[in-house]
Amino acid sequence: MLRSVFVIAYVTLTCLCAHAARSADLGELGRKIFFDPSLSASGRMACSTCHDPRYAYGPPPGKGIARGGPQLNRGGTRAVPSLRYLHDAPPFSEKTRFADGDVGPGGGFTWDGRAGTLKEQARIPLLAANEMANRSAAEVVSKLEKSHYAPEFRQVFGADIFKHRDRAFEAALAALEAFQQDPKEFYPFNSKYDAFLRGEIELTEQEERGVALFKDPAKGNCASCHVVLSKRGQPPLFTDFDFLNVGVPRNPRIAANGDRNYYDLGLCGPTRRDLAASHEYCGFFRAPTMRNVALRDTFFHNGVFSSLREVLDFYNDRDLHPEKFYSHNPDGSVHKFDDLPPGYADNVDRDAPLDRLPGATAALTEADMDDLIAFLKTLTDGYAPEPQSASDAAQRSDEYAWKVFVALNKPSAAWESWPSANDIFRPDAADPGPWKSTQQPSAVPIGSSRFEAFSARELPNLHRIENGKMVVVKDPLASASRLTEIHLNQAGYEYIRARALYNVAGQLRAEAVSFPAATKEVKAKWRVISEAERSRYYAMTVKLADGTERLYGLTALHLVTKDLPTWFWATFEHVDNPQLPGNDGWQAPSRDTFACGDAEPACNRAPRGIGLEGTVWENYRLRGTLTSFVDRAGKPNLLANSELEAGMQSTASCITCHSRAGIGTVAGQPIRLAVFDTSTGDPKRGFVGEPRPEWFAEGRIRSLDFIWSMAKAR
């Protein structure tokens, strides 16, 4: 009897294990299919080309309306959606009952819900002529058969699977579906808002205001479709998979829209065909999740808007100032709802904030929109709280540097949304106002306050030598091959505000300036990169004064934290820096015991196992850290970044240089210590070693706690 029980248990366990192994294999196979460009007619387009894991399986910047086909020249007709948080989408039904009691169309996959399952959805791009452009399922299978993972395919589905083309194609779709059910990849629920829901952190005041506006039926009213209620113990999905028509403007950048008789009407066609006669559904598209929406630069089904600000502005002003969004008729009147054929205007949503009559007050103020965007940014996956640990900073410096690096840079560079030094130390010396994070536009204007303007390249009437002649630099900033910026986090920002350190008068009044331990400062440098280099860099697009755009890659990053009384200093560089023209090379070897171990600290590798693999961040290197002025032998500690300390690497010590940040008065005029030691005649010699008492003799200069950017104050 006992033996029988064991046998039954063994058999059951074996079956379960086999099943589990098969599911894991299936998912892994699906991953390989998902990232395989050879499955497209062009050989250059994988699922991941448009559904990029770095952007929550949504489109990378500038690729929101993808081009596909055999030559990658056939334009898409809709914005690429994110594939995240679709795991709980119900099948499409015209009689979906929503939380507010309404009954109507809901569920399904794609913008028009025409796919009932992830598997059905996966079939679409593989065969669409303007996407991966395979002519048939059999063609896909032929490519699968030649793939490097074909043996695994046979292992999972049977040795003869490729002999049965239809079965093999269905198997590939099943593998893709299995991959898309991987919770770590597709529904991680690890945003800042999730951490808040778990009670781990608090939201900022601005983010809390944003949540309230999101829910308020009279203001944002966003939650009426992008629901914030938890369901079955699961955090909110920020969509109820409802369909609606908000009357978004026509997008002239969609090639198909060149035909004035072409209209993409969502539920009633032309892509979806079963509801073509249901005119009441024309123009209806499925409400997407708001999770990771801040990673996008194309919004709504046709991608007509490129920033969250534009989207909110549309909701706010659609009926008050339609001329801002829609094209004009030949008689000059506004062609409102210009992406709908005549007669369909009644299908358009009129719920708040889309319920305004001309002349009424808009539902949202500019400040409201800032708050809403701050909240929406909390919905980005991959949140890691800013680390803070004096012991880690002091004892495991290199590991801690990477911890800070990951927290501030993944999934995107959070520090970019912090106020810049120019935002804090305003030209009018005024209070910079309550903390708010800033959403960066898809193309950052060259004149943005985020960039340090201290460059001759911004001077008017600038000339430079070209081929032996002086030539006018027509757009001085356009010649800026490198850009620098400085940002301070909320703890530091609020400390400056609370003590009015944002102007000279406040700094002169201040006693014993000492920033809180949670303070972090970032200094970053960018250079112009080519499109071919984009995949290796954390990149941003900058709009020049003449309207053209230029691509910049992050080359250098100082991370400075107040975990220690004399701060914690770490600097990172792009691995390509030493090979750049004009770069002096890394004059001191990198020291990274976390990535390399103690035996070979200059191994020039990125650490593994902290989430850098497969991202641009694995191309960055920790050059070193500083926690004290001198080493145990009393020798000055140096730390240089070849981009940020160009020309002075041999005398660069962040900690000593910054110890000289201070302010005093001579004859009633504010004075500060010099950045460089010019006593030797070398104009770029830095100060190193222990700070010398005479620098601050007789209280002539008072320390401003290592923050040099305070010298920007007026």
Partner 1 sequence: MRYLMVFLGLFVANAVCAGDEPAAPITNISTSDEPATDGKPPAKFTTDAKWETAGYNNDEIVYTILVTSHDSRIIRCTTALQGSYYENGQKQSVSDRQLSTVFPDQQVQVGNWMGMDQQSGATYSVHCHAI
By CB under 8 A, name the binding residues for partner 1. 452-457, 459-465, 468-470, 473, 484, 525, 644-648, 672, 674-676, 678, 683-684, 708-709, 711-712
With residue 670 as reference, give the H or E element that holds it. Answer: strand 669-671
Nearer to partner 1 by Cβ, of 440 and 455: the residue is: 455
Nearer to partner 1 by Cβ, of 26 and 480: the residue is: 480
Is the C-alpha dihedral spanning 185, 190, 192, 194 positive or negative? positive
Q: How far is the CB of 415 from partner 1 (least distance, A)?
A: 17
Q: How far is the CB of 99 from partner 1 (least distance, A)?
A: 54
Residue closest to 520 by CA, chosen among 557, 556, 558, 492: 492
CB 323 within 8 A of CB 334: yes
Q: How far is the CB of 482 from partner 1 (least distance, A)?
A: 8
Nearer to partner 1 by Cβ, of 124 and 646: the residue is: 646
Encoding tokens for residue 680? 């030797």
Nearer to partner 1 by Cβ, of 330 and 668: the residue is: 668
Q: How far is the CB of 652 from partner 1 (least distance, A)?
A: 10
Strand-pairing partners, residue 543, are: 445, 549
CA distance 223 to 114: 24
Nearer to partner 1 by Cβ, of 341 and 683: the residue is: 683
Nearer to partner 1 by Cβ, of 432 and 601: the residue is: 432
CA distance 177 to 180: 5
Q: How far is the CB of 528 from partner 1 (least distance, A)?
A: 16
Nearer to partner 1 by Cβ, of 550 and 712: the residue is: 712
Q: How far is the CB of 481 from partner 1 (least distance, A)?
A: 12
Q: How far is the CB of 575 from partner 1 (least distance, A)?
A: 22
With residue 197 as reference, give the H or E element that holds it. Answer: helix 192-197
Nearer to partner 1 by Cβ, of 456 and 545: the residue is: 456
Query: What is the amino acid identity at position 348?
Result: V
Nearer to partner 1 by Cβ, of 554 and 644: the residue is: 644
Q: How far is the CB of 396 from partner 1 (least distance, A)?
A: 31
User: What are the CB-based long-range contacts (under 8 Å, 24+) for 429-435?
Assistant: 429/502, 429/503, 429/504, 429/505, 429/713, 429/714, 430/502, 430/503, 431/497, 431/500, 431/502, 432/493, 432/497, 432/502, 434/205, 434/206, 434/497, 435/204, 435/205, 435/206, 435/490, 435/493, 435/494, 435/497
Encoding tokens for residue 436? 């708010």
Distances (CA, A) of 103 to 100, 110, 116, 216, 243: 9, 20, 19, 22, 11
Residue closest to 102 by CA, chosen among 293, 201, 278, 240: 240
Encoding tokens for residue 595? 């990535």
Q: What are phi and psi of 558, to 5 degrees?
A: -95, 130
Encoding tokens for residue 210? 């944003």
Nearer to partner 1 by Cβ, of 128 and 675: the residue is: 675
Q: How far is the CB of 674 from partner 1 (least distance, A)?
A: 6
With residue 484 as reference, give the H or E element that holds it. Answer: strand 482-488
Distances (CA, A) of 441 to 297, 310, 351, 426, 580: 9, 10, 28, 21, 28
Nearer to partner 1 by Cβ, of 87 and 712: the residue is: 712
| Edge-first strand listing for the sheet containing 669-671 | 669-671, 662-666, 701-703
Q: How far is the CB of 533 from partner 1 (least distance, A)?
A: 22
Q: How far is the CB of 709 from partner 1 (least distance, A)?
A: 6
CA distance 619 to 533: 12
Which residues contact residue 407 at a Cβ distance below 8 angstroms, ignoring those fewer than 6 apart? Answer: 384, 385, 386, 387, 414
Encoding tokens for residue 710? 């305070």
CB 75 within 8 A of CB 65: yes
Nearer to partner 1 by Cβ, of 565 and 683: the residue is: 683
Nearer to partner 1 by Cβ, of 620 and 708: the residue is: 708
Nearer to partner 1 by Cβ, of 391 and 481: the residue is: 481
CA distance 379 to 210: 12
Nearer to partner 1 by Cβ, of 167 and 426: the residue is: 426
Largest CA distance in the chain: 101
CA distance 231 to 240: 10
How many CB atoms neighbour CB 323 within 10 A? 13
Q: How far is the CB of 303 from partner 1 (least distance, A)?
A: 37
CA distance 243 to 222: 14
Nearer to partner 1 by Cβ, of 7 and 545: the residue is: 545
CA distance 110 to 124: 10
Q: How far is the CB of 538 from partner 1 (least distance, A)?
A: 19
Q: How far is the CB of 659 from partner 1 (least distance, A)?
A: 14
Q: Are strands 520-528 and 539-543 parallel, antiparallel or unpaired?
A: unpaired
Q: How far is the CB of 683 from partner 1 (least distance, A)?
A: 7
Dihedral in degrees, nearest 10, Cα atoms 58, 60, 61, 63: -90
Q: How far is the CB of 525 from partner 1 (least distance, A)?
A: 8
Q: How far is the CB of 361 from partner 1 (least distance, A)?
A: 42
Nearer to partner 1 by Cβ, of 277 and 472: the residue is: 472
What does the angle CA 420 – CA 426 – CA 428 come to, to the nearest 5 degrees? 170
Nearer to partner 1 by Cβ, of 242 and 452: the residue is: 452
Q: How far is the CB of 685 from partner 1 (least distance, A)?
A: 11
Residue closest to 517 by CA, chosen among 572, 560, 570: 560
